[in-house]
Structure 1
């Protein structure tokens, strides 16, 4: 049993490791085989249904029926897993609802057909004697060929569901790492395949451990608990977010709001008390762990700052291991705002597969057509409204933002929006401005102004990532960058020759300014504290060199 679990996990971890496209090829083949057998058995089996076997409808009463409905709820969550891959789907606003409705409709139709056939072909007392009712009925209908077809369909269904769930679980863990609720290392992407490989390996390890434990029924029941609670919370969050953030763009339209979310809450949570006591205990414990991880985030519970100093320091220490790099608010989704987002997200000219964990970007944009363009290009929150208005800024929760960037093409609007963001408590505010009068006004208020029209995106990245850099220029529209930084007094490179320092091959130390003198750098040139070092090269290589030269010696 353990070897089977291990082999299966390794196989489907490898397919998901290479990307969803590779995994979907295998899943598609298995689903086609499975559906052909299921539909074949259902259609041919209708001819042999005995009406007498279908009465009474619930021979044992509704008592056992409701707990069973709660237990098998996990069988219907395939439609929900589609949403997990939203960041890898083209035009998710259209394709995800369509895929969910098709999946749910086809799945329910096949379930009803097969249940009708299975309950009508043999008496329920016979079905109760077997742990594989579909295989049993296929055997009754078609003999050995039917039995083997049932076995194959069961294996295909289990394996395809396993592959989908494994991939979805890794992407949930990736998103949690990106949002800062679990260690940030889980949100890293594979450099070649662009998949959350670390999260995938962690999920695979958990699957092997739990699969080998033999407590499958308990795990299935606990999974149903998790899905029932989670989807109920999602339905509640829909109502809460509509009230709290009315300006947030919602590509997914909800019919009959708020009736549908309310019915969703009731229909999910009604079944929770009907689950097994062990799964209730396990599910409650895991929910409590998740609640703790959520509450230790200061942006979610600012009042935790009132805890005793020792507890508060411990909380900050734990959080520091997985806090995401930076939450950015970009006000203005025009060319300036998009250039900045592209630069920070390392966006290609088409579209991004995964949203980076290094920067978590939120847009505010007033124009509806521009908002639609942003939705197609980025998988990030977008608020439609006037970024100069306090009620719009309040909806984006400014206390969670590390940086706000006013990036419209109007100096006047950028000035108003930057001042408003600063007034609402965002510590670091950057504004694009060219008029010296506006620049001086904002700088007097502690706002960083960027006025270079051709290097705006690169300079924003410079201010965010390399605060010690004195200046930056972009060469040939971003092919290379040139920056100047000051070596700290206790820097690790102080006293070392350039040839002995690990500098990326594509980066060049172009110059050293020392005591107002120009020094031509050679391999044996010694770096001193206070030197202004000028680097030239691609942005990533320049940033790596900057990190090396700016790192400081550890103090005892």
Structure 2
């Protein structure tokens, strides 16, 4: 095969009509409503971030941390609008992986999918580890005891195995195996509960609100707001979760764009309200960088002079993290389902239970892998690499919108990104800018992951690609037909 032919094969796109037709074959059950889709995205986004990141961001921006949340939301909005357009145009389970396959070709799609595997698997493992810590906080504040370190921390962090992390992953797995609609209903309840806990925080914190605590409003100036904005941006990652449910939404072309944009609006309102209540209830100089996880609890204790509101907040964190684990594991299995259907990963990830209409083996393998990571490995810097993987995928989605507008202007679009092409261009620039602000260790981990991914692609995925095999059959048939 010539070099030109090889390059053409690497960047061969999968026709949008074929992708949409495969997604409409009904292997998965179309049972999810607009509310459930929105709650999946809110569930994946509204997790440990607000409980931890506020304590890290306030010392950088002061009371202007409220504006930092808005800046981060606008940054996320550029990518959210691109996701909304592509989700409404290509409503399938693969999310940004499928969008890249339709617009930039197989190799780029594989890289995008490989990034998502890093983002989903490692991030949910890290979140599961945090679940045990918040569960201990809740037990301590409510019942006065904590789980022994030996069974609540991984090796290297003072323990032998992180049992709570295994428990939360297994609970999510059991829900996912029961079916998408059952998982969505439980997730909706958990999301509403954790929003309720944060509303409770705001109500209590506003009783101690003092206007003087907001002065000076921006002690570090615009530079401080930008620094805090970069810090809190990662609290918005997850708004794209609804796009992985493209084949299980009842009315995907209408509901997916609404769920993606709606979840971003809901999360932004909650973040701004919590941020304003926190800096109004406690002077910003009293937020300590080393006590990030306790910041919100300290605000409540100052407001009430009692410890019970902190127990309620810990309960909210436990529910919040469980919801993130469920939502992200769901997204992981659906992306692998789409990649398996294309032949890029083994076919076992595509097999669907005829009874529950869910990919059972896929769910079991993903759950086992995540539980093993969370139980036995201190993730450390590896967890930070999920941010690069996410931003890289976001950037590809923004590029994909521009490519598809040029190559397939005739496609029916239920949502169009406004101010095109300015909006997706800004999305690409903001994603690139945030990638380069991350530390060198994180960037090197990401590059190493990409090298491993390329090795896997050329040794396995390229040879098993259904698109490649079909193209080879067509070329052979054409050659034979033209032979004398």
Q: Please give the range of the TM-score, normalised by the shorter of the 2 chains.
A: 0.5 to 0.7
Say whether residues 1:136 and 2:298 are aligned partners.
Answer: yes
Q: Find the counterpart in structure 2 of residue 97 from structure 1.
A: 257
Equivalent pair of 1:33/1:153 in contact (CA under 8 Å)? yes
Q: 1:402 to 1:92 in 2, by over 3 A?
A: farther
Are residues 118 and 216 of structure 1, via their aligned partners in 2, closer, same or farther at CA, if it must alter by over 3 Å? farther
The one-character-per-residue Cα deviations of 1:420-458 (angstroms, maximum 9, x if unpaired) are xxxxx6948xxxxxxxxxxxxxxx999xxxxxxxxxxxx
CA contact (8 A) 1:70 1:271 kept: yes
**Contact conserved, 1:71 with 1:275, CA < 8 A, in 2?**
no
Distance in 1 between residues matched to 2:411 and 2:473, nearest whole Å: 19
CA RMSD for the aligned pairs? 3.0
C-alpha displacement of 1:281: 1.4
2:422 to 255, 259, 266: 259
Q: Structure 1 residues 278, 85: CA separation in 2 closer, same or farther (over 3 Å shift)?
A: same
Alignment of 1:382-531 (within 5 A): 400=471, 427=477
Deviates more, 1:78-87 or 1:138-147: 138-147
Tell whether 2:269 aligns with 1:109.
yes
Distance 1:188 1:273 in 2: 39
What is the aligned length?
Answer: 320
Change (3 A) 1:212 1:193: same
- What is the aligned partner in structure 2 of residue 218 from structure 1? 381
Larger CA deviation: 51-60 vs 158-167:
51-60
From 286, 306, 325, the counterpart of 1:162 = 325
Please state whether the residue corresponding to 1:112 is helix, strand or coil. helix
Correspondence for 1:6: 166
Structure with the bigger RCO (C-alpha within 8 Å, sep 6+) is: 2
2:235 is paired with a residue whose SS is: helix
Report the equivalent of 1:32. Answer: 192
Q: Please say if residues 205 and 299 of structure 2, whose CA atoms lie closer than 8 Å, have aligned partners that are also in contact.
A: no
Deviation at 1:252, TM superposition (A): 3.5
Specify every segment of 5 or more residues in structure 1 that has no aligned partner in the other structure, as ranges: 297-314, 328-398, 404-424, 429-443, 447-556
**1:209 alignment partner in structure 2:** 372
CA distance in 2, matches of 1:247, 1:292: 37
Q: Greater share of helix residues, 1 or 2?
A: 2
For 2:354, the equivalent position in structure 1 comes to: 191
> For the residues of structure 2 that align with 1:426 and 1:93, how far apart are their CA atoms?
38
Name the CA shift for 1:204/1:117 in 2 (closer, same or farther; >3 Å): same
CA 1:325–1:174: 2 relative to 1, 3 Å: same
Counterpart contact for 1:79–1:104, Cα < 8 Å? yes
- 1:317-360 Cα deviation digits (max 9, x unpaired): 7655x444998xxxxxxxxxxxxxxxxxxxxxxxxxxxxxxxxx
Counterparts of 2:373 and 2:221 in 1: how far apart (Å)? 34
CA distance in 2, matches of 1:103, 1:51: 30
Distance in 1, Cα, partners of 2:234 & 2:363: 21
Q: 1:162 to 1:69 in 2, by over 3 A?
A: farther
Per-residue deviation at 1:157?
Answer: 0.8
Q: Which 10-residue stretch deviates more, 9-18 or 74-83? A: 74-83
Alpha-carbon deviation of 1:106? 1.1
In the alignment, is the contact (CA less than 8 A) between 1:221 and 1:279 conserved in 2?
yes
1:157/1:4 CA distance change after superposition, 3 Å: same
Say which SS state the counterpart of residue 446 (structure 2) adopts: helix
Residue of structure 2 equivalent to 1:118: 278
Larger radius of gyration: 1
TM-score (normalised: structure 2): 0.60
| Residue ranges of structure 2 left out of the alignment (5+ in a row) | 1-151, 153-161
Paired residue for 2:213, among 41, 44, 53?
53
Structure 1 residue 278 corresponds to structure 2 residue 441? yes
Q: Which residue of the partner structure matches residue 309 of structure 1?
A: none
Residue 37 of structure 1 deviates from its aligned partner by: 1.6
CA contact (8 A) 1:67 1:274 kept: no
SS in structure 1 of the partner of residue 234 of structure 2: helix
How far apart are residue 156 of structure 1 and its match? 1.0
Deviations 1:168-210 (A, max 9, x none): 1111111111122222221221232121222222222232233
User: Quick check: which one's strand share is greater?
Assistant: 1
1 CA distance for matches of 2:301 and 2:246? 40
Distance 1:86 1:110 in 2: 26
1:81 to 227, 230, 241: 241
Distance 1:37 1:92, change over 3 A: same
- Cα drift, residue 59 of structure 1: 4.3
CA distance in 2, matches of 1:208, 1:67: 34
CA deviation map 1:264-289 (0-9, x unaligned): 11122211111132221112222344
- Equivalents in 1 of 2:482, 2:341: separation in Å? 32
Shift of 1:17: 1.4
Give distance in 2, aligned partners of 1:179 and 1:121. 53
* Secondary structure in 1 matching 2:307: helix
